[in-house]
Structure 1
Amino acid sequence: MPEVQHSLVDRIKASAAALYPEIRDIRRDIHCHPELSYEEFRTTALIEKYLEELGLEISAPYLETGVVAMLRGGRTAEEAPCIALRADIDALPLQEENDYAFCSQQEGCMHACGHDMHTAMLLGTAAVLAGFAEELAGDILFIFQPAEEKAPGGAAPMIEAGLLRDYKPAMIFGIHCFPHIRSGNVALRSGSLMAAADELYITVEGQGGHASAPHKAADPILAAAHIVTSLQYLVSKAASPYEPAVVSVSSIESGHATNIIPSRALMSGTMRTMNEELRADLQERLRQLVEHTAAAFGTKGELRIVKGYPVLQNDPDAVQVARSAAEEMLGAGHVEESEPVMTAEDFSWFLRDCPGAYIQLGTGKAEPVKGDMLHSPTFDPDEFALCIGMEVLAATACKALLRSAGS
């Protein structure tokens, strides 16, 4: 595979460094004005304006919010391969607790997962690549996707609306802030990187009665308690010790008085798996466990599963492209091997239909700060990572185009 020329590496670095103050200010502006899933109208307008000024072709919208834009390379559209780069743009329903000038101005809403960083650095990447578009071996598709934080997410409906069918990218790449990785570094992994996530809703129906005479009732709380403890069997015995799996009950609601046995208990939780076969098997085993355990206590158990994002599977060839590009930009010592994580990400839908890779971008500071974690009200990424993200995304896009054009 042809290597990115060193002169191009230098130009990408110089361009990213020059753009950094502007992109940092854009990130702060987005951070001040966070918007929840499918409500990202201001963010959408900001993205469109910036890309139009760069001269990119703005696509007709695939959803009410979000932006899709094309940067045409030097080769003709008929000859040119296409590489896609994606950023998510929505915020979380969370009250920010940081203390700096650009904190969220929206009550109860915060960019606590780095999507403001992702959006800004992808805009910067577009600016970097637009600076030498005529030299590109193909076209770059920029996808600013809404609603990653709210299942079923924005990726699946964009795909269903024909996004990948219309543009047919040869590869797709995404990037995400990770505070456990030091700023200045990125991490990559072939195969399973992030988990499938399913929502669990359990209802146990019993027979209410006086708490002094439990033998005359069918206690749903007792049945629910046994279901909770029995769930651990799924992880410890039903799943291989070599297969990551998590089943957690995160809420229980039942009863309202000390002397009344209620007639119903409601529970909810999550199941995370790294293997689609194991996922299907555990779903069925979980259903049987709920129903049979409840029946053993004279109650009726029902399980409703809301299937979430699938396992995020990185394509080995795409990972090699991104790794090679990152090593040229940052040095091999700044490119780590990712550890699998049990969080979920709807970029996995793109990777089901198009080979690609999800890059973990380090945003952790030299001295770790307590509370600096994703979905925390004090999440505070190192903004220098914006420059790293621009460099790696731009170099990865160039290298992927060369790979696709030569294949």
Structure 2
Amino acid sequence: MKPFILAPIFFVALCCFLQPFSADPAGPVIFQIEPTDTTGLRLFCNRASIEKYDETLSLWREFNACAEVGWQEYRTQGRLITHFTTLQNRFGAENILFDTMAGTGLFVEIPGDPKSGRTLIVRPEIDGLYYPPTDSTLAMVRHACGHNTGMSVACSLAEILLENKKKKKIPWKAVLFLFSPSEERAPSGLDSMLAGKDLSRYGKIVALGQHVSPDVPNHQVEVRSGTAQASSEILRIYIDASALKGGHIADKTNINPLEIWENMRSEIEQEVESCSAGGEYLLRWSNIITSSPDSTPVNVLPQKVKVFGNFRTFNPVHEVRSIEKIDSLIANFSARYADKKVLIYRVREQAIPVLVNDPVLTESVKKWGSAFLKRPINTHKLRLGADDFAIFRKYKIPAVLIRLGVKANGGLHRQDFEIMDPTILQTSLGLFTFLVYSLE
């Protein structure tokens, strides 16, 4: 057979070989060799994501099997250390450095171009969610928010960068991986890591993160410029009238902590609404607990009231003003009842600010992400769910959180949440590899 006949046959065979293993058109990205793709970067990223799929899937399953709650991710951290120790032994300590941070977190650095004035942070969170026992299930911790996806993709991304460092220069001063603990509950592990690390020598820093989304079509990618997710402030308010030793409910001269709370609640809700400027927000009281000595009759007033609530908003100004108003009201009520021996106070927890994706970085992600995927990256809806990825704004680091659509059997944070199509690991890994080499 003549060479000019063999050439097209070889071309077709090569394209078939490079097809991902899913024939689903909504599945992993399918690439062809294009004359306009002079760098071959898309082809390289696709091939790398295919070659790493089995390893990434294995890590994904391992992390899923050892899910742990925030600040207790010791086995998870140990598995990460094992992975990066192996990479360090293969490629040398001069090419990859890592150290534990914030208790159970891990900081990983892959040095790049020393002449570059910019550094990229990739942030995977590592904690799971605890579910108490029920009549039909045992207590368990699960990755019901999909954090094992971000971890496994980040581990494989680091390996790809190291394996190809000699022939494919990393266009950053460094790529940093912040495997941060305790995203799901305060205090924020990411905040602890950023506060505990001097990043001044890394030049201009930008950050990327990823979160899975069952409400986004499988393998689709979405991102939102500017305000993307709400803030979250936990409200724990206590009214302690135990010094009064209660009183009969029929005696109107006795102080009723529940009535104090109802008055406080009404004023708090009015103040929050007054400074909302018509914007969307959420103020919800999830639990009210009363307590009295065990021997107290049912017709005697409770001595203590504990209230648990949550305030969320998309407006950073509304966020600050509302909390100032709430704290001021609580202080006023406390002063009003101080001479009556009633203690009124709020126990503060770390708040998560409004998540604002940097507009310039978002446009770059959409531009290059669309070039890789060969389909548009859509704008996702505003989300009342909070994420401590928003903490990057506190440190003035431009950041973008990407939403990856997954096929799952339930919503996030549900006990039965499970990703049904793990080939999204391939799409995610290919995309992040492409962004590392492409972002402006």
Q: Say whether the fold is shared (TM-score over 0.5).
A: yes
Q: Matched residues in 2 for 1:166 and 1:248: separation?
A: 43
What CA deviation, in whole Å up to 9, does each residue of 1:109-166 have, x standing for no partner? 2211111111011112223333422323233222211222231211122112225335
The answer to whether the Cα contact below 8 Å between 2:117 and 2:204 also exists between their aligned partners in 1 is: no
What CA deviation, in whole Å up to 9, does each residue of 1:228-254 have, x standing for no partner? 345433454431113x32211111111
The answer for the alignment partner of 1:117 in structure 2 is 149
Q: Which moved more, 1:56-65 or 1:35-44?
A: 56-65
Whichever of the two has the greater Rg, that structure is: 2
Q: Residue 400 of structure 2: which of 349, 357, 364 is its match?
A: 357
1:57 aligns with 2:100: no
Q: Matched residues in 1 for 2:56 and 2:133: separation?
A: 22
Q: Matched residues in 2 for 1:85 and 1:226: separation?
A: 46
The answer for the alignment partner of 2:298 in structure 1 is 258
Counterparts of 1:361-400 in structure 2, within 5 Å, are 361-365=404-408, 369=409, 372-381=410-419, 382-400=421-439
Q: Matched residues in 1 for 2:62 and 2:248: separation?
A: 57
Deviation at 1:343, TM superposition (A): 2.0
Q: Matched residues in 1 for 2:150 and 2:286: separation?
A: 30
1:22 aligns with 2:55: yes
1:269 aligns with 2:309: yes
Match of 1:199, SS state, is strand
Counterparts of 1:148-227 in structure 2, within 5 Å, are 148-168=183-203, 170-206=205-241, 209-211=246-248, 213-227=250-264
Q: Matched residues in 1 for 2:160 and 2:275: separation?
A: 50
The answer to whether the Cα contact below 8 Å between 2:97 and 2:110 also exists between their aligned partners in 1 is: no
The answer for the alignment partner of 1:85 in structure 2 is 122
Q: Residue 248 of structure 1: which of 279, 284, 289 is its match?
A: 284
The answer to whether the Cα contact below 8 Å between 1:208 and 1:217 also exists between their aligned partners in 2 is: no
Q: Summarize the Cα distance change of 1:140–1:307 in structure 2 as closer, same or farther, 3 Å threshold.
A: closer
What CA deviation, in whole Å up to 9, does each residue of 1:65-102 have, x standing for no partner? 222222334x4x244632121111111222599xxxxx
Structure 2 letter corresponding to 1:148:
E
What CA deviation, in whole Å up to 9, does each residue of 1:296-333 have, x standing for no partner? 9x876433433412222211111112112221222334
Match of 1:15, SS state, is helix
Q: Which moved more, 1:319-328 or 1:137-146?
A: 137-146
* Deviating 4+ runs (over 6 angstroms): none
The answer for the alignment partner of 1:101 in structure 2 is none
Q: Summarize the Cα distance change of 1:231–1:373 in structure 2 as closer, same or farther, 3 Å threshold.
A: farther
Q: Matched residues in 1 for 2:431 and 2:146: separation?
A: 17
The answer to whether the Cα contact below 8 Å between 1:96 and 1:377 also exists between their aligned partners in 2 is: no
Structure 1 letter corresponding to 2:324:
E
Q: Matched residues in 2 for 1:315 and 1:22: separation?
A: 33
Structure 2 letter corresponding to 1:198:
E
Instruction: Provide the alpha-carbon RMSD of the alignment.
Output: 2.9
Q: Summarize the Cα distance change of 1:209–1:161 in structure 2 as closer, same or farther, 3 Å threshold.
A: closer
Q: How many residues align?
A: 383
Q: Which moved more, 1:6-15 or 1:43-52?
A: 43-52
Q: Which moved more, 1:174-183 or 1:216-225?
A: 216-225
Match of 1:60, SS state, is strand
Q: Matched residues in 1 for 2:299 and 2:194: separation?
A: 54
Q: Matched residues in 2 for 1:267 and 1:323: separation?
A: 43
Unaligned regions of 5+ residues in structure 1, if any? 98-103
With a CA cutoff of 8 Å and minimum separation of 6, indicate the structure with the bigger relative contact order.
1
Q: Which moved more, 1:344-353 or 1:205-214?
A: 205-214
Q: Matched residues in 2 for 1:41 and 1:4: separation?
A: 44
The answer for the alignment partner of 2:176 in structure 1 is 141
Q: Summarize the Cα distance change of 1:231–1:79 in structure 2 as closer, same or farther, 3 Å threshold.
A: closer
The answer for the alignment partner of 1:100 in structure 2 is none
Deviation at 1:41, TM superposition (A): 2.3
> Percent same amino acid at aligned positions?
21
TM-score, structure 1 as length reference:
0.84
Q: Which moved more, 1:145-154 or 1:224-233?
A: 224-233
Q: Matched residues in 2 for 1:165 and 1:141: separation?
A: 13
Deviation at 1:4, TM superposition (A): 8.6
1:331 aligns with 2:364: no
Q: Matched residues in 2 for 1:60 and 1:166: separation?
A: 17
Deviation at 1:351, TM superposition (A): 3.5
The answer to whether the Cα contact below 8 Å between 2:188 and 2:350 also exists between their aligned partners in 1 is: no
Deviation at 1:393, TM superposition (A): 1.4
